[in-house]
Amino acid sequence: MRRIFFDRYDSSGKFPDGRVKLDVYFKSSDGENYVWTPDWEKGTRHFFLEAYRIEKLNRPESPERERFKQVAKEVLDEEEPGKPMINFKFIAIQLGEGLKYQASVNEINRTASAIFDFDASSHPHSSITSIRSQTIYDWVMSLSEQPLSDERKLQLLKNFIDALTPENSPLRKLPKGEGTGGEVNG
């Protein structure tokens, strides 16, 4: 098997039906040229998600992870300008603070395991001193990283909050952006 390396991409070509074609060019170490026209589902979207996942596994605090997030945000902003994004960090911190004396770590983990189909990953936060708050923060931030639509993430977040809070709790307003100080980006 020969390893090839990225050279450039080009979107000047067209398919027979007139759609713009994305070609990705590669070169081998011995100078041979290759062109790849990626399949959208398995080629581009999954490639982006897999590259992000691998970077996260290899270097959890990598500046490249932030760049991945920035690129994803640029795409969303271009597609839906002005649509507020969910501020998962704010919600995670507020929810953790609001529940740290009301829910045990076991209750938080059991509830999350019943609602989410992924495991929590560690997201250390230097200003969080409660293990209960940190557990909630880990779950909410793990949800934010899942390859799901914003609508699905929001529904799962609401389910999680509703399961941990009484019906009249002001914490239930967090996903609606109430009490977030305005803009819910982040």
- Determine, yes or no, domain membership for 183: no
Residues 169 and 155 in one domain: yes
pLDDT-wise least confident of 31-35, 41-45, 112-116: 41-45
| Helices first, then strands: H and E counts in the chain | 6, 3
Specify the pLDDT at position 66: 79
Residues 96 and 135 in one domain: yes
pLDDT-derived band at 96 (thresholds 50, 70, 90) equals very high
- Determine, yes or no, domain membership for 181: no
Specify the pLDDT at position 186: 39
Q: Above 90 in pLDDT, residue 83?
A: no
Residues 150 and 73 in one domain: no
Q: Which H or E run includes 83?
A: none
Query: Which tokens in the block code for residue 95?
Result: 């929810």
Residues 49 and 65 in one domain: yes
Residues 126 and 102 in one domain: yes
- Determine, yes or no, domain membership for 186: no
- Determine, yes or no, domain membership for 108: yes
pLDDT-derived band at 86 (thresholds 50, 70, 90) equals confident
The domain boundary, picked from 20, 50, 83, lies at: 83
Residues 28 and 97 in one domain: no
Residue 172 burial (10 A CB sphere; 0-12, 13-18, 19+):
middle
Residues 172 and 92 in one domain: yes
Q: Above 60 in pLDDT, residue 183?
A: no
- Determine, yes or no, domain membership for 148: yes
Residues 155 and 95 in one domain: yes
Domains of the chain: total: 3
Instruction: Please tell me which of 9-13, 50-54, 168-172 the model is most confident about, judged by mean pLDDT.
Output: 168-172
Q: Spell 53-76 as b/e; 16+ CB within 10 A means b.
A: eebbeeeeeeeebeebeeeeeeee
Domain that holds residue 107: 88-176
Residues 33 and 101 in one domain: no
Residues 59 and 130 in one domain: no
- Determine, yes or no, domain membership for 111: yes
